[in-house]
Amino acid sequence: MLYRSAISRQACFANRAFSAQRFASTKSLRDTLKEIIPAKQEQLKKLKAEHGDTVVGEVKVENIIGGMRGLKAMLWEASVLDPVEGIRFHGLSIPDCQKVLPAAPGGKEIIPESMLWLLLTGQVPSAEQTLALSQELAAKGALPKFVEDLVDSFPRTLHPMTQLGMGVAALNHDSAFQAAYERGMKKPEYWVHTLEDCIDLIARLPALAARIYRNVYAPGTPLAPVDGSLDLVGNYANMLGYGENHSLTEYLRLYIALHGDHEGGNASAHAAHLVGSTLADPYLSYSAALFALAGPLHGLANQEVLRWQMAMQAELGADITEEKIEAYLWKTLKSGQVVPGYGHGVLRNPDPRFIALQEFCDGKPELKASPIIQLVNQTFKVAPGVLKAHGKTKNPYPNVDATSGCVLYHYGLTEFKYYTVIFGVSRALGALTQLVWARALGLPLERPKSMSMDALSKFIADSK
């Protein structure tokens, strides 16, 4: 209760700030950014000049050999991940976003276009601004013919994430940033052309991802064209062949909005930032993010959860009790495996994204009655206690993957290998918007210093 009260108090301050910042509903995304960027540039200039020598943290040997985990060493404007509170997008928690961000016409869940606007500008868009952005994305959503041909040439056995990364990289053929850079442009113009590429790429991702799905799982099935009257996810669901499933479409809107950004240190966001710091165009930068996302320690987690849940369901049978789940959890742990969907590199409380998806399930009778969702809920009651008793998990609570893939499976999207592609469509919202800000703020090439074990040993000996 104290945890929720603290969030509520901070949300009030955040909402007041947003009320003060909100611009007229007719202002375009580009005009909004043109007004915001100079203030942000001045803020960065002041930080450098007045606080450049302020110590933020300290580097320990465990940071160097532990994957830089927890090391504060990266500027990321859109979101901050707190171990206790979870993610905040420009100060707004997930419950805040659900209250203030526009939904799709006739829908209830956050529309990703409104999250995209928030991540880019730090402001809550009006319904009119969100609709205008939806229309722009739909107008730019068709794939070039050569990319269609490229994707159609891939063997069906090629992993969907490999196909997605290759397709995104190929789209750089039409990069506005690359063309402007080759012509010669001034640094203050970098963000303008980067924004154009980012909007174009986000617009085209549903068509690319849907084409991959069709080719791999339903070859020969007609692929619906981009519909100018639909929002980004409406088109995506329609091209996947699930356009009539309104509950799945609403779920995909929520899923993609909530997965859009999770600060900059995660592997996919960091990969996009690192490659982007070389001034590679957004297509090449985001293809790197997708290949990071394809790793089993990152984007494949939700499919692993579903596999584990289904294996438990098959072993325990129809009469699943909390006692049986507890025994299965201990069996998993004693075999040397982790419990999929539990624990997080940063979070030390239940993931707010998990809570939001659970609330979505609670509002859908068909999901409340679903055996796989019921098993998710039963596991949530038991797993934290078992993991605490086990004593080797820093965070014994569920993350978003504990339920995200299970809902997709219930609604008929049962192709496990494809789940990470949906994650890839989602993560573009945050990773690409931060490329715009990296160019607007003139952030430098990322180049950390590395050390060998011998150099570390010498440093430790010399410091004694």
Catalytic residues: 298, 344, 401
Instruction: Please tell me the distance from the alpha carbon of residue 4 to that of residue 262, in angstroms, as a whole number.
Output: 20
Instruction: Please tell me the distance from the alpha carbon of residue 366 to that of residue 128, in angstroms, as a whole number.
Output: 33
Name which of 172, 171, 154 is nearest 163 in CA terms. 154
Q: Residue 445 is encoded by which pair of tokens?
A: 């090439």
The answer to whether the Cα torsion of 267, 268, 270, 274 is positive or negative is: positive
- 271 CB-near residues (< 8 Å, 6+ apart): 288, 289, 291, 292
- 114 CB-near residues (< 8 Å, 6+ apart): 101, 102, 103, 124, 125, 130, 257
Contact 22, 123 (CB under 8 A): yes
Name which of 356, 347, 355, 354 is nearest 395 in CA terms. 347
Cα–Cα distances in angstroms (integers) from residue 288 to residues 164, 272, 295, 445, in the given order: 11, 6, 12, 16
Phi, psi dihedrals of residue 32, rounded to the nearest 5°: -60, -45
The answer to whether the Cα torsion of 380, 381, 386, 392 is positive or negative is: positive
